[in-house]
Amino acid sequence: MKLYVMVNGIATGMPREALVSSGAPLDPNDVVSIPTTTYLIDHPDGLVLYDTGWTQRSPHKGAIHSEKNIVDCLAKLGVRPSDIKYVICSHLHLDHAGCLEFFKDSVILVSESEFTNVAKLYMLDQLGPHYVKKDIEEWIRIGLKWRLIGDEGKVVDFLDGIKILSYGPGHSFGMLALLVQLSKTGNVILTSDAIYCRRNLGPPIRLPGVIRDSEGCEQIIKNLIQRAQDYNAQLWYGHDMEQFKALKKFDQGYYE
């Protein structure tokens, strides 16, 4: 099994408070650059993609210095969207579920809580800034093959060496983290935005600035820390620039 770290853009001019909140108002002059990563897993049972990066319809295009979208990244590895058997969406925010429309032949796995609440907001025309209405309309038009993951707080066996960690509301309505058990690298937990960066861990735990349920967010972070101990796993965070720089990127090789 091979794990590729895909580069899907660096967002510049992002408020520092979005990563680790102090409770202070957002300061437009105190900004940082944050990476967005997705992951390709070459598994004996088929190719698995964890997240799909920024939407092409992002309202923040001027602030995103993209390394190419997920389709272009896959092409560098000789992979087409139609080759992907499964896409696991950590959640449906615009920087993690963009370009889903290219994966009409894949099974799309997402938290049941995230899916049903986003569908409700779409129907009520109350999506807010983290979801893109035109993306959702395109998903509906294409008829994506959704598979909903419930069992919040549970470890869900997915494929040999891959477990889905299912969580309820925190950063979003529902999050899916991923435990990947690699023979040489060891165990890795891909947290996506359940943990933005190392500083969120504290101690004490410091929440990000973008959350839907603060109590739930803290409990998810605690649970992921415990899962990392249980499985002797590394935590790979959603938007940690320092960690991102240290990771081997897909055009340099892979983890196995």
First to last CA, the chain: 6
Asked if residues 239 and 197 have their Cβ atoms less than 8 Å apart, the reply is yes
Residue 21 belongs to a domain: yes
* Token pair in block for residue 174: 């529902």
The pair of structure tokens assigned to 102 is 């290219």
In contact, 36 and 52? CB cutoff 8 Å: no
pLDDT of residue 67: 67
Q: Residue 171, class by beta-carbon neighbours within 10 Å (0-12 exposed, 13-18 middle, 19+ buried)? A: buried
**CA torsion, points 102, 104, 107, 113, in degrees to nearest 10?**
80
pLDDT digits (tens, 9 = 90+) for 102-156: 999 999 999 999 999 999 999 999 999 999 999 999 999 999 999 999 977 789 9
Strands 107-111 and 155-159: unpaired
**Are 20 and 12 spatial neighbours (Cβ–Cβ below 8 Å)?**
no
| CATH number, domain containing residue 213 | 3.60.15.10
Angle between helices 112-124 and 133-142 (to 10 degrees): 110
Q: Which tokens sit at 33? A: 């650059």
Q: How many domains does the chain have?
A: 1
Instruction: For residues 27 and 56, give the distance between their C-alpha atoms in angstroms, rounded to a whole number.
Output: 27
- Residue whose structure tokens are 């895909």: 6
Q: Give CA–CA dist 225/70, Å, rounded.
A: 29
CB under 8 Å to 91, separation ≥6 — which residues? 97, 110, 111, 114, 171, 172, 173, 174, 175, 176, 192, 193
Question: Per-residue pLDDT tens for 189-209?
Answer: 999 999 999 999 999 999 998
Structural domain includes residue 253: no
Instruction: With a cut of 90, say whether residue 178 has pLDDT above it.
Output: yes
pLDDT score of 17 more than 90: no
List the beta bridge partners of residue 114. none
Mean of the pLDDT values across residues 1-27? 85
Residues 23-67 pLDDT 10s: 777 677 888 889 999 999 999 999 999 999 988 887 766 556 666
Let me know if residue 238 belongs to a domain. Answer: yes
- Tell whether omega for the bond before 208 is within 30 degrees of 0, i.e. cis: no
Please tell me the predicted confidence (pLDDT) of residue 64.
67
Cα gap 205→222, rounded to integer Å: 8
Q: What is the pLDDT of residue 189?
A: 98
DSSP alpha helix (H) spans, 178-249: 214-230, 241-246
Structure tokens at 124: 């009520």
Tell me if 252 is assigned to some domain.
no
Q: What is d(CA 217, CA 195) in angstroms, rounded to the nearest whole number?
A: 9
Whether residue 82 is predicted with pLDDT greater than 60 in this model: the reply is yes
Rg (CA), the chain: 17
pLDDT value of residue 207: 94
Report, as an integer, the average pLDDT of 176-191. 98
Question: Percent of the chain beyond pLDDT 90?
Answer: 80
**What is d(CA 48, CA 84) in angstroms, rounded to the nearest whole number?**
6
- Residue 63 is predicted with a pLDDT of 59
- Domain range for 54 is 2-246
Residue 184 has pLDDT above 70, yes or no: yes
Give the integer Cα–Cα distance in Å for 99 and 228: 30
Q: Is residue 256 assigned to a domain?
A: no
Query: What CA–CA distance (Å, rounded) separates 116 from 100?
Result: 17
Is residue 201 domain-resident?
A: yes
